[in-house]
A and B are shown apart, each in its own frame.
Chain A
Amino acid sequence: MATQVVMPKLSPTMEEGQLSRWLKKEGETVAMGEPLAEIDTDKATMEMQALTTGVLRKILIKEGESAPLGQPIAIIGQAEEDISGLLGQQQPQAKAEPAAQKAEAAPQGQQPAAGNGGKPAVTKQPESTGRLIVSPLAARMAAEAGIDLRSLNGSGPGGRIIKRDIESALSQPKAVSPESPARHLRAVEPSPAYAPVTAAASAYRDEPASEMRRTIARRLVTSLGPVPHFFLTSEIEMDRAAEMRRNINSLDPELKISINDIIIKISAAALLQHPQVNASYQDKAVRYYNHADIGVAVAIEDGLTTPVVRSAEQKSLSQIAREVRDLAERARNRKLRPEEYTGASFSISNLGMFGIEEFTAIINPPEGAILAVGAMSAKPVVRDNEILVRQMMRVTMSCDHRVIDGATGAKFLQTLKKYLENPLYLVV
């Protein structure tokens, strides 16, 4: 009996996949477990295996096309079998169902000559579960207002989100924290003095957003909009940490410990001292993590990902250094497994190598905080009424105010600063 092959869920955050490459052609035989296609998910290119044995009868989406989870993408059956029943229905299915059931739903029979004018007999579409249904207008309004469509319940047919749902979401009062995100948004608006010289709008080109770019976009608007951010900045003297790094690396050049590795290690230590920061806001609970699973933002072509160093508090600096190098390398080749880039309890984003002195990062929900690390540079500082030159580094922590309050975050940063300025604490 012929069966449909549907777009599988290959990562926890995947909602649709792009068919990167078919590994079988129509008419070729496939065995259960054999690789059938390569699927570009939001994070990585994954191999998809056949779940049944037979002949690849029909390919339903071309290479380069995308399909939501559960949408049929191919049909596997016997060589001579009639698959017209399965071809007739292309609507998204939650999951593959027995083929016998499907054949019944297919349009069939002659239409009366005068009736229906070529309109195919429409079978009732099953209520969709995973897919977001939204009117074009509502989608545009939500995008303009920064509303996460997934947070809404559609009042239209089949749960379609329509204009009035957006309007009612907009009329809900927003929770305003003492340091509301709006203040920061305003701070980055161009001043009137920088009004563009040319009156005409610039020419532009549109390139289709990659799966990763779309995931980044979708995930981040669930952050700065709904998550009330506030930001704490601290300046840290890094001379001792830098000296420690030099000393360790001189023991064995192969170790290649970076300043960032030290920051990961020390952040982990500080997180264990301040469990309120190693936490995340859940719907009706605050979740405290036992370990410091630290996400490290890695820039890759056309996007970024955050591979996770698990239980960083238990690992040695050399272990952390090796692990980060390996994760970053595989991230760039899109070879990370989903469990390697999800489920961090805290993240670190370092733009120091780009000469960025200081910046703010957007929290990767549901994590409670992210540390934005700037460049280390020599600066004059005053110590005991003397001007000295010191290696200074500025870090800014973005906190989710639902779990972390100002003083809590400040205390964590204090500990982080103390440890980084005196890294011997690590061995105390």
Chain B
Amino acid sequence: MAVITIREALNQAIREEMLRDENVFLMGEEVAAYQGAYKVTKGLLQELGSKRVIDTPITELGFAGLGVGAAMVGLRPIIEFMTFNFSILATDQIINSAAKMLYMSGGQFKIPIVFRGPGGSAFQVSSQHSQALESWFAYFPGLKVVMPSTPAYAKGLLKSSIRDDDPVIFIEQERMYGNKGEVPEGEDFTIPLGVADIKREGTDVTIVARSLMVPVALKAADVLASQGVSCEVVDPRTIRPLDIGTIVESVKKTNRVVVAEETHPFCGVAAEISTEIMERAFDYLDAPVKRVSGADVPMPYAKKLENLAIPGVEQVVAAVREVAYLD
């Protein structure tokens, strides 16, 4: 297996799917001539031409709407947001058009579209350009929300998202583009949406982590193993539909849970996961579900404050020790 970055894995997924299906096209700011603000779309204009790799003006609501219209007439658009911070401008098209069209047309219009781009916390770009929005999109029925944490997941999940007949919000963690990992070869490699992965097996505490928090949780599990605590790390990979079954099975085994996320805690995905666990596995819990979330403040610019606002290994270790009644 080749070891590549998440950036390269995403590029491969887009390229392969565009070669496989001529209805797939890519549209967004700087995706063509500039090769992508984060170079995810490198080489695609040259190989596939300007009819299918299209630079747009800075008009998120406009090109998101063009994408929804194109999907309604049978194309399979990939809409890149330079970052998901700018998707906020396009939410009317995403939420009111893409998410609801199938329902409101009585099943006549499928919307096979992928909205993708970097999201979550970045490095010192302050409040407006450093935030995680998955709980917004996961709130709405009609949208799928996918968050890869490794190069293999990035490739396999993006290919499945492009082939999916429903609108998919595909959030790539901005800090993780350069993360490397093994990716299976071959155009047929896909990962189904809605299936969690157990990243590490353990017996004492389950850590549910997604996106940026997956490597943090795995490091915390290493630290805890040296303290005699066995952690099971579950990455849901798809936020909606959520593979709650895998999470609940893990909780039934370990009886204790920490849910880690970089987002704000209030009305977040961890809150949803905690409730699902409480509803489905109450009698298996030996301790209250513990959330480890980002600070409940706009992302600070100052580097030290920024570090404090994003959960790290230390917070996850402390939370696990708390639910395991070790301190």
Q: Could you say which residues of chain A place their CB within 8 Å of the CB of B266?
A: 117-119
Number of interface residues of A (CB under 8 A): 18
A164–B325 CB distance below 8 A: yes
Q: Could you say which residues of chain A place their CB within 8 Å of the CB of B255?
A: 137, 163
Q: A136-B285, A137-B285, A163-B255 in contact; A115/B325 too (CB < 8 A)?
A: no
B282–A136 CB distance below 8 A: yes
B288 to A, closest residue via Cβ: A135
Closest CB in chain A relative to B202 CB, distance in Å: 16
B265–A162 CB distance below 8 A: no
Q: Please measure, in the bound complex, the distance between the C-alpha atom of A155 and the C-alpha atom of B287, giving whole angstroms.
A: 12
A116 at the interface (CB under 8 A from B): yes
Closest CB in chain B relative to A155 CB, distance in Å: 7
Q: Could you say which residues of chain B place their CB within 8 Å of the CB of A136?
A: 282-286
Closest CB in chain B relative to A256 CB, distance in Å: 51
Q: Please measure, in the bound complex, the distance between the C-alpha atom of A114 and the C-alpha atom of B285, giving whole angstroms.
A: 32
A140 to B, closest residue via Cβ: B283
B contact residues, range? 10 to 19
A114–B296 CB distance below 8 A: yes
A156–B325 CB distance below 8 A: yes
B296–A135 CB distance below 8 A: no
B264–A135 CB distance below 8 A: no
Q: A117-B264, A119-B266, A155-B325 in contact; A162/B296 too (CB < 8 A)?
A: no
Contact partner, A162, options B284, B287, B297, Cβ 8 Å? B287
Q: Could you say which residues of chain B place their CB within 8 Å of the CB of A138?
A: 286
B296–A137 CB distance below 8 A: no
Q: Could you say which residues of chain B place their CB within 8 Å of the CB of A157?
A: 325
Question: Which of A136, A156, A157 has the most chain B CB atoms inside 10 A of its CB?
Answer: A136
B245 at the interface (CB under 8 A from A): no
Q: A162-B325, A163-B255 in contact; A135/B297 too (CB < 8 A)?
A: no
Q: A119-B266, A136-B282, A162-B325 in contact; A114/B298 too (CB < 8 A)?
A: yes
A161 to B, closest residue via Cβ: B286
B322 to A, closest residue via Cβ: A157
Question: Which of A118, A135, A156 has the most chain B CB atoms inside 10 A of its CB?
Answer: A135
Q: Please measure, in the bound complex, the distance between the C-alpha atom of A118 and the C-alpha atom of B266, giving whole angstroms.
A: 8
- What 0/1 pattern do residues 127 to 141 of A give for CB contact below 8 A with B? 000000001111110
Q: Could you say which residues of chain A place their CB within 8 Å of the CB of B284?
A: 136-137, 140
Contact partner, B283, options A117, A118, A137, Cβ 8 Å? A137
Closest CB in chain B relative to A285 CB, distance in Å: 36
Question: Which of B255, B282, B285, B286 has the most chain A CB atoms inside 10 A of its CB?
Answer: B286
Q: Please measure, in the bound complex, the distance between the C-alpha atom of A136 and the C-alpha atom of B289, giving whole angstroms.
A: 12
Q: Please measure, in the bound complex, the distance between the C-alpha atom of A135 and the C-alpha atom of B325, giving whole angstroms.
A: 12
B293 to A, closest residue via Cβ: A117
B282 to A, closest residue via Cβ: A136
Q: Please measure, in the bound complex, the distance between the C-alpha atom of A138 and the C-alpha atom of B286, giving whole angstroms.
A: 6
Q: Could you say which residues of chain A place their CB within 8 Å of the CB of B265?
A: 117
Q: Could you say which residues of chain B place their CB within 8 Å of the CB of A163?
A: 255, 286
Q: Could you say which residues of chain A place their CB within 8 Å of the CB of B283?
A: 136-137, 139-140
Residues of A158-173 at the interface with B, using a CB-CB cut-off of 8 Å, are 162-164
Q: Could you say which residues of chain B place their CB within 8 Å of the CB of A115?
A: 296-297
Closest CB in chain A relative to B324 CB, distance in Å: 10
Q: Please measure, in the bound complex, the distance between the C-alpha atom of A163 and the C-alpha atom of B286, giving whole angstroms.
A: 6
B287–A135 CB distance below 8 A: yes
Closest CB in chain A relative to B252 CB, distance in Å: 10
Contact partner, A117, options B285, B287, B296, Cβ 8 Å? B296
Q: Could you say which residues of chain B place their CB within 8 Å of the CB of A162?
A: 286-287, 325
Residues of B242-268 at the interface with A, using a CB-CB cut-off of 8 Å, are 255, 264-266
12 sampled A-B residue pairs with Cβ under 8 A: A114-B298, A117-B264, A135-B285, A135-B287, A136-B284, A137-B285, A137-B286, A140-B283, A156-B287, A156-B325, A157-B325, A162-B286
Q: Which 9 A-B pairs have the closest CB atoms?
A: A117-B266, A137-B286, A163-B286, A117-B296, A140-B283, A135-B286, A114-B297, A136-B285, A136-B282
Given contacts A119-B296, A139-B283, A162-B287, 13 further A-B contacts (CB under 8 A): A114-B297, A116-B296, A117-B266, A117-B296, A135-B286, A136-B285, A136-B286, A137-B283, A137-B284, A137-B285, A137-B286, A140-B283, A162-B286
